[in-house]
């Protein structure tokens, strides 16, 4: 793994870190010896997680930011990075879903979903690229098998994840010359609070879904690949297939 001269340990920046995949990833990376920069909308939940993970050997910095609001992202990241902890791994995990037909989806919901699932990733990457270019690093974008498939009433979500996959490939091509690697973790259904949100209506068997802990293991495995190689896209699906 790549280490930063500014701190003895590698550091991971994780968005959507207060619950689900993000919280599990924070715990996995902390156990592997990474310092952490954690972002989430829920400040209370984020601070509870940070308090759980902090110890004499682990540094955890947090920032409360709503990635659905494009106006506050750059300033929040600038303030977080100014505390002296520079990431060597960046995990863009935050996202949302919406179920409903494209014909009747309100424009504000479309814009909200695209902001969270695509544009906020673009904004986070822009904010961290100057630091990553100085020492090299690894960006991992969490996507979905919906990027490659079409599902009724999931059209907006499929579109956002397909665009994210394309963004990841383009970013990888542009930043390779700067020693920055870009991976996509493509996931099947994961048992997270996403399924409890008011914008999602489904009858999937959550017991058959992937667990956030298994996804966190996959993220850590990607991050720990030698700097001489890159797993461009890792797909992880429930054994039951598409639910």
Catalytically annotated residue among 157, 188, 192, 238: 157
Please give the Cα distance from 226 to 96 (Å, whole number): 31
**Given strand 11-15, what is the order of strands in its sheet?**
60-64, 35-40, 11-15, 89-92, 137-144, 180-187, 233-236
And the tokens for 137? 């690093």
Please give the Cα distance from 151 to 102 (Å, whole number): 11
Q: Give 151's contacts (C-beta < 8 A, 6+ positions apart).
A: 158
Active site residue 157: yes
Please give the Cα distance from 58 to 27 (Å, whole number): 11
CB atoms within 10 A of CB 146: 22
CB 80 within 8 A of CB 182: no
CB-count exposure of residue 203 (10 Å: 0-12, 13-18, 19+): exposed
* Per-residue CA distances from 79 to 7, 54, 133, 237 (Å): 18, 20, 19, 37
Instruction: List the catalytic residues.
Output: 157
């Amino acid at each position: 793994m790549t280490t930063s001269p500014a701190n003895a340990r590698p550091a991971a920046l994780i968005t959507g870190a207060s619950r689900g995949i993000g919280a599990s990833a924070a715990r996995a990376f902390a156990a592997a010896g990474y310092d952490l920069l954690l972002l989430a909308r829920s400040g209370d939940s984020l601070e509870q997680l940070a308090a759980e993970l902090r110890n004499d050997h682990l540094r955890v910095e947090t920032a409360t930011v709503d990635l659905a609001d494009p106006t506050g992202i750059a300033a929040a990241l600038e303030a977080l990075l100014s505390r002296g902890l520079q990431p060597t791994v960046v995990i863009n995990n935050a996202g949302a879903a919406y179920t409903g037909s494209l014909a009747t989806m309100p424009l504000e919901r479309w814009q909200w979903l695209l902001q969270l699932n695509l544009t906020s990733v673009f904004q986070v990457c822009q904010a961290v690229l100057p630091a990553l270019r100085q020492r090299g690093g690894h960006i991992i974008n969490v996507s979905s098998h919906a990027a490659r498939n079409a599902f009724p009433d999931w059209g907006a979500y499929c579109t956002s994840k397909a665009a994210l996959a394309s963004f990841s490939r383009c970013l990888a091509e542009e930043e390779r010359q700067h020693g920055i690697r870009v991976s996509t973790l493509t996931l099947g259904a994961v048992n997270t609070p996403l399924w409890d949100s008011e914008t999602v209506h489904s009858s999937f068997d959550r017991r058959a879904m992937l667990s956030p802990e298994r996804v966190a293991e996959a993220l850590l495995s990607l991050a720990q690949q030698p700097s001489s190689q890159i797993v461009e896209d890792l797909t992880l699906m429930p054994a039951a297939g598409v639910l």
